[in-house]
Structure 1
């Protein structure tokens, strides 16, 4: 199954495109978009994914500096995918065609990664399950290490949300992982959250960010008063970090629940930074997370 798949339950509907990186290209309550939709003329080029919907982050999240992964005293040269910067970004899943099978309001997808593809020397199997009900959607993501040795692993979700003048955000986190002014990477561990970025209490979306936060309490709420809707995201599993991307063009913003900090392996292995979420998956073991999107009428 490679064509777009439509799932629907009551007022909730979603469109998933297995051939477009296993991406959810639409998520709606009635006629209102909860995810920023792909434009009618939007590109579905797997090499240059569009800024829309929600795609899976597997087997790592965000950027690996200079596409060089330092792990267990080895340096792995990955294929750079953020050009011209030369970093490796967002893993493999969004650039893969996923095999899919639909069962009513549930869609199951998977792909197998061969050792060495894209410079990643470890084989694995990724799986994604998308389930709809009348109150929202649950997305589960997992990686099975199919090799004979241990491999680094990270997972996450990259949803794009419509930005409106009245959009409100609640996002309880414990630490801020700001990048340096010159680069998009943190250089040390988590810091106290600045007052202007603290969203334990509801407030406007802070603009101009592209950074991570740690100690996420696995719940976030976004409200669109203009549309009379609110969304609650609830994480399960080791989704202890969240990346916030809020470009100043005001068309969309991203709140991305993930298992690790930006460049986590290099921070941990080279600089000895703690609490990065850097994880090693044993041969034959599985690593999994899930994210619940619950929609409420205001």
Structure 2
């Protein structure tokens, strides 16, 4: 059991995972080119046990109202597993498994597992939550920060969403679905057939981000990086579209990033 960084390699692909820093993917290099923004808060972190913002940090489970810490006032954002120390359960040259036990302030006991699997042309991330007791609502997802530029090439983002969640002034979905609006985005999109977004750095790389999940947040309002975030529900989804973790059915999701050189 260790929280030391773990590096996986396959062909000319190299992935580094930092379990001591929220089990984030701290580096993804292809033939020496770094695809992820560097820094303690960047890379790609798991969003657990919720994704995006919870309105005022409060969610209901039956008749109980639970208050989460307001880490992005006036809301709670992205869960808190990204700030926790995870444990390395096992690791080989191309696959590693990490765990994290849910504790206060989350009101339900449970375990989160992340599996990181690398091949020569793809990275697959799988997140699961199991309960140690009662059923509870939860979400899982990923928040990668892809470098906006590789060399002199700026990224282009392409996808075909069925709808965009209308965003209110509080950055939360209003519940209305609208046509996809022009960039810039800090928005949630619906893809009922599964997430499928392509990032292209002309003359450098193309990365296809896919998931069976029907929700993705795309964020491109910063100069340094862009984010494509597959997740099991929309922002504030603990209140509007809860997914239950039950003793017989864990919550599990995965995303695969496939790349090719151009």
TM range (shorter): over 0.9
How far apart are 1:70 and its partner, in Å? Answer: 2.0
Please give the alpha-carbon distance, in whole angstroms, between the structure 2 residues aligned to 1:186 and 1:288: 24
Please give the alpha-carbon distance, in whole angstroms, between the structure 1 residues aligned to 2:188 and 2:33: 29
2:167 pairs with one of 174, 179, 186: 179
Q: What SS class does the counterpart of residue 238 from structure 2 fall into?
A: helix
Gaps of 5+ in 2: none
Larger deviation: 70-79 or 129-138?
A: 70-79
How far apart are 1:211 and its partner, in Å? Answer: 1.7
Matching residue of 1:15: 16
Matching residue of 2:111: 125
2:145 pairs with one of 135, 139, 160: 160
Please give the alpha-carbon distance, in whole angstroms, between the structure 2 residues aligned to 1:141 and 1:26: 18
Q: TM-score, normalised by structure 1?
A: 0.81
2:200 pairs with one of 219, 223, 228: 223
Please give the alpha-carbon distance, in whole angstroms, between the structure 2 residues aligned to 1:128 and 1:103: 14
Q: TM-score, normalised by structure 2?
A: 0.92
Contact 1:163 1:251 in 2 (8 A): yes
Q: Is it true that 1:170 corresponds to 2:150 in the alignment?
A: no
Matching residue of 2:217: 243
> Over residues 267-291 of structure 1, what are the superposed CA-to-partner deviations in whole Å (9 max), with x where a residue is unaligned?
x3xxxxxxx4x21222343111111
1:254 pairs with one of 221, 227, 233: 227
Question: Greater strand share, 1 or 2?
Answer: 2
Matching residue of 1:190: 177
Contact 1:218 1:235 in 2 (8 A): yes
Please give the alpha-carbon distance, in whole angstroms, between the structure 1 residues aligned to 2:207 and 2:58: 37
> Over residues 112-166 of structure 1, what are the superposed CA-to-partner deviations in whole Å (9 max), with x where a residue is unaligned?
113xx01x2111100001011111211111000111x220011111101111363
- Paired residues, number: 256
Q: What SS class does the counterpart of residue 56 from structure 2 fall into?
A: helix
Give runs of aligned pairs for residues 281-296 of structure 1, distance below 5 A. 281-296=245-260
Contact 1:145 1:285 in 2 (8 A): no
2:66 pairs with one of 68, 73, 76: 76
1:234 pairs with one of 189, 207, 210: 210
2:48 pairs with one of 51, 54, 58: 58
Dislocated runs of 4+, deviation >4 Å: none
Q: Is it true that 1:5 corresponds to 2:6 in the alignment?
A: yes
